[in-house]
Amino acid sequence: MAESPTASGGQPPAWRRMGPRTRRVVQAVLYETFAVIFVALALALAFDEPAPSALGLSLLTSGIALAWNYVFNGLFERWERRQPVKGRSWRRRVIHGLGFEGGLAILLIPVMAWWLQTTLWLAFLADLGLLLFFLVYTVVFTWVFDKVFGLPQSALQHPD
């Protein structure tokens, strides 16, 4: 069952509306700001990584994730425009989160293995906790973002 546009975020006041590109940039920057803080703290604590190294890896992975966020959301919104049911149900949000996180894992695991000077398998295991956290974080963050800024046009309008 699809959520109504209002229940999913609807249209915000005029001062909070953004064009599609601006919306993707604002969403990605906010998302990554919180992500950098979390990842740096988690790496420093969980892997006994020195603070400068943890912050460096966090910033590197954030840069990769920021670029992926912009590309993925553009592709997702292109797909979403073609869907007959509008709005963002929880099912659609979970699909969004899985797609984003799956693609990001493919990009980040080799980077983590290189940075931490370990195997791809151990980098995968090290990244697994972060991936699980970010799967939930992505779905919840996108929901909150939509509540604050409203849904994008791709989720509100039927294609002409």
By the 8 A CB rule, do 9 and 146 touch?
Answer: yes
* Domain membership flag for residue 120: yes
Give the total number of structural domains in the chain: 1
* Domain membership flag for residue 20: yes
Query: In terms of pTM, does the model score above 0.75?
Result: no
* Predicted confidence (pLDDT) per residue in 43-57, tens digit: 888 778 898 998 999
What is the reported pLDDT for 153?
Answer: 74
* Domain membership flag for residue 6: no
* Domain membership flag for residue 92: yes
By the 8 A CB rule, do 46 and 129 touch?
Answer: yes
> Exposed, middle or buried: residue 52 (CB in 10 Å: 0-12, 13-18, 19+)?
exposed
* Domain membership flag for residue 9: no
Residue numbers of the domain that contains 55: 14-155
* Domain membership flag for residue 5: no
* Domain membership flag for residue 3: no
- Taking 50 as the pLDDT cut, the residues of the chain under it are 1-8, 160
* Domain membership flag for residue 147: yes
